């Protein structure tokens, strides 16, 4: 492990924002006009190989500078650390950063400080995989069950899953891992598209996008709902008519409703044969999700949530007690791969299907590795599982996702697919980048 | 309401830190060495009365600058706003700030962005009360039930309590409010002390502080536990022997344990006749608290939590589903008074005793107003209720709390008791203040 014997010498962080609000992209029932953004991190070491780790956490524009500040506060804990020690006790290192006695009060393990830590850990994972010359999914898949377990901080979840249980689950999948890897390399990981039906789009645009998506081979479609019931019914009808009765359709309310309202509203949409209702209410309301799930059961509609689920302790409750059917992990909300593995293990034990949240900036690039690892080593299946895809902003990444036949192709390049192009950084750094300077000069945005 | 017809012209924010780690004050099982700090806010308007609103949110040192940054990002939403409009639709204004479409992603309603909003709302409440020339508790107590309800954002909690139910509860207390105000002014609000038993203190120091506290008239004592079982047993024994069998004793684990560990550990401490175990596990684990509460019931020990409970949605679950017996609201963790009222109302409905968290920087000063309002208008009782008190850092406030006979005296000065002394700000502003410059020069701290 000699190539790992080096120390972190530099951690840089950028505020990168894309002016997506200009095209109403990303609009939903709770987040009207947003500028998809990222706090973007690069890590350098004193190794002669010159390898740089790239990581990010996704944001919606304003406040990206708060996350940047948080990463700067975490920075001294990373600088000077020996990479070999970090990776050999990665679960412990994760706990050390997340449990910092003074910073912890600002979460704990949630919100700005947690997503900031996520960006740093994502960069560490990219660094690790690049040093091993493997994509992250393959780096993980090649680990022994013991190694995988050592990545995870089990604190606060041992009442739901013990290390020993987790180890046994992973060991059971060892024998058939190679077979699944072959299938993955051939067929990819199944995806659905959210690109066709954002709230801000007109009916005409919706129809056009839906037609195009069908032509591209998509078979699973998600529709944003929750702002206006009549609009929702009309839009769901348009899409169901376009895609026909057999394709899968999901709806997403982005936390718009109270518990009772969610149930009432959804009764009007059951006619459209929906696979799931996503984020029907507050992401903090485990008990509320349970009540909604019970009300939706007779209609065959599952409850999905997770993109705003703050950490493994909340996921423990959603998975074990909240009756969710679909668990939507996020590569930047949780504390990177380390914490996501904890969730994958609990989902496996309690029979919940992991269907990752993606889109945003780089979320597809990152989360594909995690869900592929889940297929190979944890759940061992893609049945009733599907990963979100949004056709947006991939052009800014050096190793963007590749979709073929409505499936994510397994990445081949080393790393976490998290590296942004140099020119994207210089164009979209906020507010000094060339694109922002132009928009500000033209008066299309103000500081 | 003419004196309110003015606009906010300035919002200033300071990073104030006290080097409390030098004396091991504030040490607990999860937060080893901390420097009690605050992001401190002042609000000015263009009114000729020159009244300034002062607010703060409590932090533990490092990361205070992250909260300062978050307040700066919120600032443009406050500047230029008409104070009359803000206070007339205060619940709506609260929702507007907390639901900002772009910032919301960084919570939502939790962590850095939420405690930052809290500092701003605390300053607004100070401003309002000073303009009415009343202490905040009296401002609230003089409001009609309808006015009180209008302060609150009921979203995500209507399945636990409706506006109509809340209104009815408040109306029932109207007739007897004056009687309780007389009692409050005479006797104050009952308090307990945490000052005697922080983890970092030696047995000798513990004994000395306990003796002094008894001499001062304290009858209720809280002990920090969770780092080492033998230490806990020895320390609990020392204190129980000192205070005798009849006085109240509580223990506080500051989230140290997993669910099963909490139950096992606590079985060793039941011999000391404890009123509650506080924060036995993660503040996110509603279901875990329920399991611990059920295990502690046979021993007559209640479960208490709240100081790290992120918002009203989590409190809804703790109060209704988590079997907690004591609800520990915090004046700076929740979104100021507005959100705390939502919690007081739910606690009243579900029969949970509100026993506020205090200490830190200014938490006693702020929360006394809220719990006095609870007594006058919401719960209508002090039975089995007690407010935390820590004898620490009060000298930095212009209108510090006054404890008499182990009770908080009702504040008489107008405002929220949240104003810090000018010299405290100039001494402890980080890192430019005089005290910090000296400590840095002496090498006792490094940047």
Residues in chain B within 8 Å Cβ distance of A260: 158-159
- For the beta carbon of residue B398, count every other beta carbon within 10 angstroms: 15
Do residues B65 and B6 touch, judged by C-beta distance below 8 A?
A: no
Q: Is residue A325 part of a domain?
A: yes
Do residues B419 and B399 touch, judged by C-beta distance below 8 A?
A: yes
Q: What is the pLDDT of residue A26?
A: 66
Do residues B293 and B302 touch, judged by C-beta distance below 8 A?
A: yes
Whether residue A329 sits in one domain with residue A249: yes
Whether residue B335 sits in one domain with residue B430: no
Given an 8 Å threshold on Cβ–Cβ distance, is B284 in contact with A313? yes
- Which 3 state secondary structure label does DSSP give B18? coil
Q: Enumerate the H helices of A280-380 as residue ranges.
A: 286-296, 312-321, 336-350, 363-373
Whether residue B176 sits in one domain with residue B150: no
pTM of the model: 0.97
pLDDT tens for A134-158 read 999 999 999 999 999 999 999 999 9
Structure tokens at A295: 């009300």
Q: Is residue B135 part of a domain?
A: yes
Total domains in chain A come to 2
Statement: residue A1 has pLDDT above 60: no
Q: Phi, psi at residue A353, to the nearest 5°?
A: -85, 125
How far does the CA of residue B59 sit from the closest CA of chain A (Å)? 7
Q: Is residue B361 part of a domain?
A: yes
Question: Average pLDDT over chain A, rounded to whole?
Answer: 96
Inter-CA distances, A347 with A95, A284, A306, A337, A352, Å:
21, 18, 12, 15, 5
How far does the CA of residue B398 sit from the closest CA of chain A (Å)? 26
Structure tokens at A74: 């975490």
Do residues A366 and A417 touch, judged by C-beta distance below 8 A?
A: yes
CATH number (domain holding residue B147): 3.30.390.10
Q: Is residue B447 part of a domain?
A: no
Whether residue B269 sits in one domain with residue B212: yes
* Percent of chain B whose pLDDT exceeds 90: 93
Given an 8 Å threshold on Cβ–Cβ distance, is B260 in contact with A35? no
Q: What is the pLDDT of residue B1?
A: 55
Q: Is residue A378 part of a domain?
A: yes
Report d(CA B121, CA B399) in Å as an integer: 19
Q: Is residue B390 part of a domain?
A: yes
Statement: residue A17 has pLDDT above 80: yes
Q: Which domain holds residue A319?
A: 168-422
Mutate which of A56, A105, A113 to test chain B, going by most B C-beta atoms within 10 A? A105
Structure tokens at B383: 């039975």
Q: What is the pLDDT of residue B26?
A: 66
Q: What is the pLDDT of residue B332?
A: 98
Looking at chain A from residue 11 to 70, which residues have their Cβ under 8 Å from any Cβ of chain B?
A: 30-35, 58-63, 65-67, 69-70
For residue B243, cis peptide bond before it (omega within 30 degrees of 0):
no
Whether residue B146 sits in one domain with residue B176: no
Statement: residue A297 has pLDDT above 90: yes
Q: Residue A204, class by beta-carbon neighbours within 10 Å (0-12 exposed, 13-18 middle, 19+ buried)? A: exposed
Q: What is the pLDDT of residue A198?
A: 75
Whether residue B254 sits in one domain with residue B395: yes
Structure tokens at B395: 């000298």
Whether residue B185 sits in one domain with residue B57: no
Catalytic residue among B54, B131, B220, B224: B224
Mutate which of A25, A38, A106 to test chain B, going by most B C-beta atoms within 10 A? A106
Rounded to an integer, the average pLDDT of B390-409 is: 97
Statement: residue A23 has pLDDT above 80: no
For residue A108, cis peptide bond before it (omega within 30 degrees of 0):
yes
Q: What is the pLDDT of residue B202?
A: 86
Q: Which residue of A has its CA nearest to B287?
A: A317
The neighbouring-strand residues paired with B403 are B408
Whether residue A214 sits in one domain with residue A78: no
Q: Is residue A410 part of a domain?
A: yes
Whether residue B428 sits in one domain with residue B415: no
Whether residue B91 sits in one domain with residue B177: no
pLDDT-based confidence at residue B295 (cuts at 50, 70, 90): very high
Given an 8 Å threshold on Cβ–Cβ distance, is B60 in contact with A287? no
Q: Is B357 a catalytic residue?
A: yes
Q: Is residue B446 part of a domain?
A: no
B115 touching A (Cβ < 8 Å) = yes
Q: Residue A50, class by beta-carbon neighbours within 10 Å (0-12 exposed, 13-18 middle, 19+ buried)? A: exposed
pLDDT tens for A245-276 read 999 999 999 999 999 999 999 999 999 999 99
Given an 8 Å threshold on Cβ–Cβ distance, is A156 in contact with B70? no
Do residues A401 and A331 touch, judged by C-beta distance below 8 A?
A: no
pLDDT tens for B160-195 read 999 999 999 999 999 999 999 999 999 999 999 988
Whether residue B284 sits in one domain with residue B355: yes
Looking at chain B from residue 164 to 193, which residues have their Cβ under 8 Å from any Cβ of chain A?
A: none
Rounded to an integer, the average pLDDT of B119-134 is: 98
Report d(CA A113, CA A66) in Å as an integer: 9
Statement: residue B27 has pLDDT above 80: no
Mutate which of A26, A59, A63 to test chain B, going by most B C-beta atoms within 10 A? A63
Q: Is B224 a catalytic residue?
A: yes
Whether residue B72 sits in one domain with residue B31: yes
């Amino acid at each position: 492990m000699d190539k790992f014997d080096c120390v972190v010498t530099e951690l840089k962080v950028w505020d990168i924002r894309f002016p997506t609000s200009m095209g109403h992209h990303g609009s939903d029932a709770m987040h009207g006009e947003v500028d998809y953004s990222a706090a973007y991190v690069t890590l350098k070491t004193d190794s002669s190989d010159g390898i740089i780790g790239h990581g990010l956490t996704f944001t919606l524009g304003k406040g990206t500078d708060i996350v940047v500040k948080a990463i700067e506060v975490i920075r001294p804990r990373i600088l000077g650390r020996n990479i070999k020690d970090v990776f050999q006790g990665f679960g412990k290192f994760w706990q050390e950063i997340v449990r910092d006695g003074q910073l912890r009060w600002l979460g704990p393990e949630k919100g700005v400080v947690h997503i900031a830590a996520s960006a740093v850990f994502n960069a560490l994972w990219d660094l690790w995989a690049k040093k091993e010359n493997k994509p992250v999914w393959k780096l993980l898949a090649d680990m022994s069950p013991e190694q995988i377990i050592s990545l995870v901080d089990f604190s606060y979840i041992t009442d739901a899953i013990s290390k020993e249980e987790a180890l046994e689950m992973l060991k059971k999948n060892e024998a058939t891992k190679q077979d699944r890897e072959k299938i993955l390399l051939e067929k990819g990981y199944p995806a659905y598209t959210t690109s066709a039906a954002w709230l801000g789009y007109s009916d005409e645009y919706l129809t056009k996008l839906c037609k195009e998506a069908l032509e591209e081979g998509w078979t699973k479609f998600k529709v944003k709902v929750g702002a206006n019931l009549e609009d929702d019914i009309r839009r769901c009808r348009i899409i169901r008519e376009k895609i026909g009765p057999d394709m899968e359709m999901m709806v997403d309310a982005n936390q718009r409703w109270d518990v009772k309202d969610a149930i009432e509203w959804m009764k009007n949409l059951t006619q459209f044969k929906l696979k799931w209702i996503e984020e029907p209410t507050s992401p903090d309301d485990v008990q509320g999700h349970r009540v909604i799930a019970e009300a939706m059961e007779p209609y065959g509609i599952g409850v999905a949530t997770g993109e705003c689920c703050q950490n493994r302790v909340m996921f423990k409750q959603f998975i074990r007690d909240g009756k969710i059917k679909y668990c939507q992990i996020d590569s930047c909300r949780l504390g990177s791969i380390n914490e996501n593995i904890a969730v994958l293990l609990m989902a496996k034990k309690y029979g919940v299907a992991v269907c990752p949240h993606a889109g945003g900036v780089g979320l597809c690039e990152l989360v594909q590795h995690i869900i592929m690892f889940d297929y190979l080593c944890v759940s061992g299946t893609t049945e009733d599982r599907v990963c979100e895809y949004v056709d947006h902003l991939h052009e800014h990444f050096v190793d963007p996702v590749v979709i073929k036949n409505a499936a994510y192709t397994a990445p081949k390049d080393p790393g976490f697919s998290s590296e942004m192009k140099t020119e994207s950084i210089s164009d979209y750094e906020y507010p000094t980048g060339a694109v922002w300077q132009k928009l500000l000069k033209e008066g299309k945005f103000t500081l």
